[in-house]
Structure 1
């Protein structure tokens, strides 16, 4: 129940980011749901490998390189899906940043709702 609610709210967050940031386009709510699933899978399977491989760069940049990794995950999802598109790599980084901020709010709210 919590996972499904998280995905639905995350899809709404993705639509919100697309409405306030012109570098991201989401074609429909269904596309947003699929994008959330793909982004979640990429963050689960690919992101940890990239974090380990780029650990020296991440340490040198005091963690700022993690924004680049998040942008890569977002950009990869946009390239894999039909209903999600970004206007470039840096647009993906900014969209991922905004989406992450909303994701933290969603996680906090769901954490209080489902302790």
Structure 2
């Protein structure tokens, strides 16, 4: 059952990244629908990897900034991590681009809100079973 949860998280993140492409400066590139879905899944996996490896380090070393700003620095950190994900995607040959800080900032907010909403829906569907 744990594997199903991971698969759902990847799919939820992929959908959230797709929603974030409404922001100018976040682009999936050209390609078929299947290619775009593959890109979204690859980016979702990258986001999971970046959040698992880099984010805890940033939080640990920047904990004073989190305290001083009452957590608002987290919005900036999430934007920078989303921008990093766009850069890593390009380095790995995925046609996903984030052209700057502000698209990354707003894209990260959209991904977070969309993931939150989809996870609430998933939890309700799962609890009805």
TM-score where L is the length of structure 2:
0.81
Match of 1:54? 62
Looking at structure 2, the residues matched to 26 and 98 of structure 1 have their Cα atoms a distance apart, in angstroms, of 16
CA RMSD of aligned residues (A): 1.4
Query: Gaps spanning 5+ residues in structure 2: where?
Result: 30-35
Counterparts of 1:100-111 in structure 2, within 5 Å, are 100-111=112-123
Equivalent residue for 1:25?
27
Q: Which of these two proteins has the greater Rg computed from alpha carbons?
A: 2
Secondary structure of 2:43's partner? helix
Confirm or deny: 8 A CA contact 2:16 2:112 kept in the other structure.
no
Quote the Cα distance in structure 1 between the aligned partners of 2:75 and 2:7.
26
Give the Å deviation of 1:91. Answer: 1.4
Q: Are 2:15 and 1:3 aligned?
A: no
Structure 1: which 5+ residue stretches go unaligned? none
